[in-house]
Each structure stands twice: as structure tokens, then as C-alpha cells.
A and B are shown apart, each in its own frame.
Chain A
Amino acid sequence: MSTTIVRNKDYKNKQKVKDNFISAIIGFFAFVWIFPILWTLWTSLRPYNDIISYGVFSWPRHLNLDNYFQAFRVMGLTKYFLNTLYVMVPSVILILFLGSLIAFVVSRYSFRFNLTLLLFFTAGNMLPTIATYIPVFWLYIKIGDLFGNRSLLYNNYFGIILIHVAFQVGFATFVLSSYMKTVPKEISESAILDGCSVFRHYWDVMLPLLRPPLAALGVLMSCWIYNDFFWALILMSEDSKRPVTSALRQLQGQYITDFNLLAAGASIVAAPTIILFLVLRKQFVSGLTLGSTKG
């Protein structure tokens, strides 16, 4: 008995030394990982002239937030941030709403096509984006012409919102339906027995129960839609209407020489998602993992 304890202790000590070693190695890589971000922040605090005259590795003579003020003023970031909100807020609300509708029907009412529907939505989320590009582009212009206003969908926030909703609603459906399976059926049965209409069953009974996954998905979707630059770049012809990430892509070309200013711009645009992640980490993680590793 005593020998096992001694051996066990010995083993534990050895493991402890090993663990410290592993922790140090991972720590080194963590530093390498975050270094590009830190370097961008560092660059953004220095004036361009400092780097030109003394070199990239020179000791900083001036450290200030001038580049940040400059970025807001010269790049007009405030306007672009507002554009992002116009796209992001309606998109996220619609995705959660439509996703919860399908998830509700599929998990509470048994029809023959339930599973087909679920597969159809989940697979839709995995299709390569590019494969839809030409027909969507053409459709947007034609629908606009049909109503006598070419920018009804093309070059309009509405069009970008629609495409985000179409692409992400499958993911929301999948996550919410797998969550709903864990909600006891009895709740629904008693609601039906009480004579609840389908709408009240959804709105008053199920929706409040869905708050945790809705919050998690809301955070994740906001981040994804905030970060998307592709659709806005191709479906928005007017630069001034673009969301902030697409705008940054354009500004990269304009301010390529003043990379300290660009660094400040990039830091400002990165800040919301990084802060969101640091504050609401739990939501982030559960949103992602509910959706992909149920197994």
C-alpha cells in the first residue's frame, strides 16, 4: 500500500515537471500567436515619420493616439460603422427568428418531411458561397428592374441582409433544433392540451425557453456578419454604403503608404469583435459547439 502511494507521488512530481515544460512551450507559441496583433497595435501608436526616419525597430520617440483620431477623421469610420449596424442588426434578428420557426415546427410537430427539411437547411449552410454568385447577382438586378428600381436589392442594405439571412438561417435552424430536442416534450403537450394556438405555443411557450441558445447564436452571428466583407464588396456598388470591414479593404489600397494610420484603422475595426469575444466568451463557445460537435 505504502509503495503505491510513494510511486504515485513520484509519478505526480515527474508529471508536474513535464507539465511546466509543456506550459512553457505553449506559452512561447501563444506569444508568437498574439504577436502580429500586438505589433499592429504598437505600430498604430507611432507616427509614420518616426518609422521613416528611424526605422521599424527604432525606440519610439512619440507614442500617442493621433493615428486613431486621424483614422476616424480621414477614413470616415463612423459612417462605415453605422452601415455595418444597418446590415448586422436586421440580419441577426431575422436569422434567429426564421431559424427558430423551422426548429420549432420540426421538433414539435411530426410531419413526414421533418427530417428532409432539417437536412435541407443544414446542408444549405455548407454550400460554397461562390456557386451562387452569378444567379444571385443577376436575380438582384432583374428583381430591381421588375419593380422599376434597380437598386431595390443590388447596392442596397436590404439585398445584403437577404443574402446573409439565406446563408446563415440553416446554421441557426440546426443549432436551435438540436437544443429543442433537450427541452421536455411534456411542456408542449400541456400547452396543446390547454388549447394554445400554434403561434402562442411558439411565442409564449417555446421562445422564452430558447433564450440561452438564442443569446449564444446572436453573439456568434453578429461576429460573423460584422466580419463578412465579401458580399458587401460585390453587391454594394457605392463605396459610401459599404460596411466597415469592406470599407477597410478599400482603404487598404488608398492608404497603403501610411501604414501607421492603416494600423490604427485596423485596430479600431477589430476592437468590437475582440471585446465581444473577451466579454461574452461563454456565449461564443456554446454557440459554436452546439452547432458542430453534438456527438
Chain B
Amino acid sequence: MKTAAVNKNVRSRRSLSRNDRFTLSAFVGIPTLLQVVFLWGPTLITIALSFTYWNGINVGDIKWAGLANYKNIFFGSPVFYDALKNNVVWLLWFTFIATPLGILLAYQFDRKIKGHQIYETIFYMPVVLSLAIIGIIWNFMLQPGGFVQGVMGRDIGNALSIWGNYSINSYVIMAIASWRHIGYIMLLYLAGLKAFDSSLREASAIDGATEWQTFRKIIFPTMRPVNVIILVITIIDSLRAFDLVYIIYGTSTAWPLLNILAFQNFAGQGISMKGAAYSVIALVLCVVPILVYLRIVFKEDLE
């Protein structure tokens, strides 16, 4: 059986005319070239540059630095540990609060509770907004004279500094990030639940299980592949976090993240390859989750 299939493949490959071979090479070659030149190539070059000193202008000025950039980051830049801490806070918040909330919403909507269609639309709405708009919307809410300050009874004169206060801004940033993330996870999980066999659920209802028991003991364990994918997506998103904080603080390091520090060293005052080292650290942290993701989604092909 297997040899027959192999033979067939060999035959079909041999039967390709020269024209067809050319078409196939073009089909594969053009997109691959684009990926190599603008994506993989630059990423590899950034990795190489992280071991050098360079001002980003003339290639001739590149000087070998060995591990100096990394040493500088690990031993001479306390801000690196602040960024790492913020990335970890982001990761933990998303993993243990935002993502489970999204899953819980998806579960309730899948049961078609009253108003689920309107709710779904509302919860997903922030996901389709540009971060540039999200920045403006939340500024309205939080700025002096804005809604939140008004509710707290603070007028423009004695407004609370929200962006400048470390114990407050972490919560605010997590809240805004969750405002997008929860809807996204909700939608992904809902699609997974659609494929779930509803007879299992009915059976457990007849057995007298409560909805919570049904979810915990039957649905959640059966959804394992989807759960893992969603967890991995959450981790990768947390490690790549950048846009939202960039919209709020620009390249300042008021609330640093690994990618913010990388960008600050690239585009702030004076280009330095310390930025390359920062982005390599962020990249390395992403490698394992990306590999896990690939392993899951291409499971059949890999076997």
C-alpha cells in the first residue's frame, strides 16, 4: 500500500514537464525569497549584530563585541530586570486571569444563554480596533477631566496621575490589555467548543451534574488540544508585548518591556546594538512556545 503511494508520487513528479517544474519553482521561490529577505534574514542578522558594536549607519564600522552587550544588560542595566518583571507580570496575568475569563465567557455563550449574540459582539469589538484608537479611547477615560477621574471625584486641578504611578499603571495597562485579549480568546475557544460533541454534555446533565461540574470534568479535559494552543498563543503574545505600551509611553522606559527596551535602543537617542541583544533575549524566550505550537498544529504531518 505504502510503496504504491510512493511510486505514484515518483511518477507524478517525473511526469512534470519542464514548464511545470519552472512554474512550481516560481510558486515556491518568490514567497520564500520574500520571507528570507525581509523576515528570516533580518532576524538572523539581528542575532549576529547583538554580538557587535555598531551605530547602524556604515557596515565598515561594525566592531566585534563578543558578549559585551549581554554582559551590559545582565550586570549593568537594572531596567532589564524591571522589563523582565513586567513581561512576567503580563504573562501571569494573561495566563491566570484574562485567558480563563475568555474561556469561561466562551463556555457560557456556547450554552446560548440569554443575549449571547449581543454579548459576543460586544466582547469582540475591542479586538477589531487599532491600538492607535485604543490609546485615544483610554486616554479619554483616564486623563484629567476624563470619565474615571470624574467618577473618583477628582477635577482637573487635583487629578490622579495614572500613567506616572507605578502601583497604579501596571493594573491599568493589564486592564486595557485584557480588554482586547479576553474577546480574542473567547472567540477562539468558542470555535473550538462548536466542534464539541453535545451528546456528552446532555448525558452529564441527565446524570444530574451541575453546569460547573460538566465544564470542569467533561468539557475542559476533552478540549485539551485547544487549551494547549490557547495557552501557547497567550505566552507568545505576552512575550511579544509591545504595541500597547508603545502607544502609551513611546520609547520612554516608564513601564519597560523587553521589546520596548529593544526598540528604545534602536530608535531612541543613539542607535546601539544593545537593542539587538534585548530583542534576541525576547526571541529566545519565544522559541520554546513557538516550537510547542508548531508541534501541536502539525502533529499529523510530523508523524
Which residues on A are within 8 Å of B, measured CB to CB? 7-8, 11, 15, 18-20, 22-23, 26-27, 30, 33-34, 36-37, 39-40, 43, 51, 55-57, 98-99, 101-102, 104-105, 109-111, 115, 117-124, 126-139, 162-163, 165-167, 169-170, 173-174, 192, 197-199, 202, 223, 226-230, 234, 245-246, 248-249, 252, 259, 262-263, 266, 269-270, 273-274, 276-278, 281, 284-285, 288-289, 292-295
C-alpha spacing A105/B118, complex, angstroms: 41
Q: Which of B126, B290, B301 is A118 in contact with, Cβ under 8 Å? A: B301
- The B1-52 residues at the A interface (CB cut-off 8 A) are 9, 12-13, 15-17, 19-20, 23-24, 27-28, 30-32, 34-35, 37-43, 45-46, 49
Contact A36 B141 (CB under 8 A): yes
C-alpha spacing A57/B27, complex, angstroms: 60
Could you say which of B13, B46, B229 has the most chain A C-beta atoms within 10 Å of its C-beta? B46
Q: Which of A99, A128, A199 is B23 in contact with, Cβ under 8 Å? A: A199
C-alpha spacing A121/B206, complex, angstroms: 47
Give per-residue flags for B288-299: 1 if the beta carbon is below 8 A from chain A beta carbons, else 0.
001001101110
Q: A229-B130, A248-B133, A293-B229 are in contact. Are A134 and B56 (CB under 8 A)?
A: yes
C-alpha spacing A121/B179, complex, angstroms: 30
Contact A122 B282 (CB under 8 A): no
Give per-residue flags for B95-106: 1 if the beta carbon is below 8 A from chain A beta carbons, else 0.
000000000010
- Listed from nearest, the 8 A-B pairs whose CB atoms lie closest are A295-B225, A135-B42, A227-B130, A289-B191, A166-B38, A132-B42, A98-B31, A198-B20
Contact B115 A27 (CB under 8 A): yes
The answer to whether the Cβ of B163 comes within 8 Å of any Cβ in the partner chain is: no
Contact A127 B39 (CB under 8 A): yes
Give per-residue flags for B270-299: 1 if the beta carbon is below 8 A from chain A beta carbons, else 0.
010001100110110010001001101110
- The B206-265 residues at the A interface (CB cut-off 8 A) are 206, 208, 211, 225-226, 229-230, 233, 236, 239-240, 242-243, 246-247, 259, 262-263
C-alpha spacing A33/B118, complex, angstroms: 12
Nearest chain-B residue to A278 (Cβ)?
A: B121
Q: From residue B235, how far is it (CB to closest CB) to chain A in Å?
A: 11
Q: A132-B38, A245-B132, A249-B135 are in contact. Are A37 and B298 (CB under 8 A)?
A: no
Q: A56-B150, A133-B266 are in contact. Are A223 and B128 (CB under 8 A)?
A: yes
Contact B125 A162 (CB under 8 A): no
Contact A134 B46 (CB under 8 A): yes
A-B pair count, CB < 8 Å, reads: 286
Contact A36 B138 (CB under 8 A): yes
Contact A169 B113 (CB under 8 A): no
Taking CB atoms, residues of chain A closer than 8 Å to B121 are 278, 281
Contact A165 B34 (CB under 8 A): yes
Q: From residue B302, how far is it (CB to closest CB) to chain A in Å?
A: 7
Q: A39-B147, A134-B271 are in contact. Are A117 and B43 (CB under 8 A)?
A: no
C-alpha spacing A118/B31, complex, angstroms: 12
Q: Which of A128, A134, A259, A294 is B259 in contact with, Cβ under 8 Å? A: A128
Taking CB atoms, residues of chain A closer than 8 Å to B12 are 109, 192
C-alpha spacing A18/B113, complex, angstroms: 10
Chain B residues with a Cβ closer than 8 Å to the other chain, count:
105
Taking CB atoms, residues of chain A closer than 8 Å to B37 are 139, 166
C-alpha spacing A295/B84, complex, angstroms: 32
Contact A249 B34 (CB under 8 A): no
Q: From residue A168, how far is it (CB to closest CB) to chain B in Å?
A: 10
Q: From residue A126, how far is it (CB to closest CB) to chain B in Å?
A: 5
Q: Which of B38, B123, B124 is A162 in contact with, Cβ under 8 Å? A: B38
Q: A33-B122, A105-B24 are in contact. Are A127 and B43 (CB under 8 A)?
A: yes
Contact A273 B128 (CB under 8 A): yes
Q: A197-B19, A295-B296 are in contact. Are A274 and B301 (CB under 8 A)?
A: no
C-alpha spacing A274/B37, complex, angstroms: 34
Q: A130-B263, A138-B56 are in contact. Are A274 and B129 (CB under 8 A)?
A: yes
Taking CB atoms, residues of chain A closer than 8 Å to B27 are 101-102, 104-105, 198, 202
The answer to whether the Cβ of B188 comes within 8 Å of any Cβ in the partner chain is: yes
Contact B141 A130 (CB under 8 A): no
Q: From residue A269, how far is it (CB to closest CB) to chain B in Å?
A: 6
The answer to whether the Cβ of B161 comes within 8 Å of any Cβ in the partner chain is: no
Taking CB atoms, residues of chain B closer than 8 Å to A269 are 130, 132-133
Nearest chain-A residue to B138 (Cβ)?
A: A36
Could you say which of A27, A118, A123, A292 has the most chain B C-beta atoms within 10 Å of its C-beta? A292
C-alpha spacing A30/B211, complex, angstroms: 22
C-alpha spacing A185/B96, complex, angstroms: 43
